[in-house]
Chain A
Amino acid sequence: MAAPMELSCWGGDWGLPSLHPESLTVMAYAKFSGAPLTVNTINNSWRTPKGDVPVLISEDTVISQPAKILNFLRKQKYNADYELSAKQGADTLAYIALLEEKLLPALLHTFWVEAENYCSVTKPWFASRIPFPLSLYLPGKMSREALNRILLTKGGPPLYSLTEVEAQIYRDAKECLNLLSKRLGTSQFFFGNTPTTLDAFVFGFLAPVYKVCFPRVQLQEHLKQLPNLCRFCDDILTCYFRLTVSDPALIISLQMDDNLRKSPQHPPRKLTTLKLAAGGEESSPLNRLSP
Chain B
Amino acid sequence: MCNLPVRVVCRANAEYMSPSGKVPFIHVGNQVVSELGPIVQFVKAKGHSLSDGLDEVQKAEMKAYMELVNNMLLTAELYLQWCDDVTVEEITHPRYGSPYPWPLNRILAYQKQWEIRRKMKAIGWAGKSLEQVLEDVDQCCQALSQRLGTQPYFFNKQPTELDALVFGHLFTILTTQLTTDELSEKVKNYGNLTAFCRRIEQQYFEGHDKDNSGTAAARSAKRSLLR
Contacts and interface: CB of A to CB of B under 8 A. Distances in A.
Contacts of B67: 94, 97-98, 100-102
Contacts of B19: 157-158
A1 interface: no
Interface in B102-159: 118-119, 122-124, 139-140, 142-144, 146-147, 149
Q: Which of B19, B21, B59, B68 has the most CB of A within 10 A?
A: B68
B139 A152 contact: no
Contact of A87 (B22, B57, B140, B146): B146
B161 to A, nearest CB: 14
A94 B146 CA distance: 12
Interface residue SS majority, chain A: helix
A289 interface: no
Nearest to A87: B146
A274 interface: no
Contacts of B59: 179
A90 interface: yes
B65 A94 contact: yes
Nearest to B70: A101
B36 to A, nearest CB: 14
A148 B122 contact: yes
B211 interface: no
Interface string A77-115: 000000000110111011101101110000000000000
A183 interface: yes
B139 A93 contact: yes
A64 B119 CA distance: 20
Contact of A101 (B61, B71, B119): B71
B64 interface: yes
A153 B56 contact: no
A156 interface: yes
B192 to A, nearest CB: 12
Contacts of A242: none
Contact of A156 (B20, B122, B124): B20
B63 interface: yes
B60 interface: yes
Contacts of B71: 97, 100-101
Nearest to B144: A90
Interface residues of A, number: 27
A270 interface: no
B72 interface: yes
A182 B60 contact: yes
A149 interface: yes
A182 B56 contact: yes
A97 B119 contact: no
Given A149-B123, A153-B123, A182-B56, A87 B147 contact: yes
A209 B60 CA distance: 21
Nearest to A68: B132
A203 B149 CA distance: 29
Interface string A135-169: 00000000001001100110011100000000000
Contacts of B70: 97, 101
A153 B146 contact: no
Contacts of A65: 124
Contact of B61 (A89, A91, A100, A158): A91
B21 A157 contact: yes
Interface in A160-208: 179-180, 182-183, 185
Interface string B42-54: 0000000000000
Contact of A97 (B60, B64, B142): B64
Interface string B191-212: 0000000000000000000000
A94 B56 contact: no
B123 A95 contact: no
A152 B140 CA distance: 23
Contacts of B68: 93-94, 97-98
Given A90-B147, A145-B122, 12 more contacts: A94-B147, A95-B64, A97-B64, A97-B67, A98-B67, A148-B122, A149-B122, A152-B119, A156-B22, A157-B19, A182-B56, A183-B57
21 contacts: A87-B149, A90-B142, A90-B143, A90-B147, A91-B147, A93-B140, A93-B143, A94-B147, A97-B71, A97-B72, A98-B63, A98-B64, A100-B67, A101-B71, A153-B122, A156-B20, A156-B22, A157-B19, A157-B20, A179-B60, A185-B57
Interface of A: 65, 86-87, 89-91, 93-95, 97-98, 100-102, 145, 148-149, 152-153, 156-158, 179-180, 182-183, 185
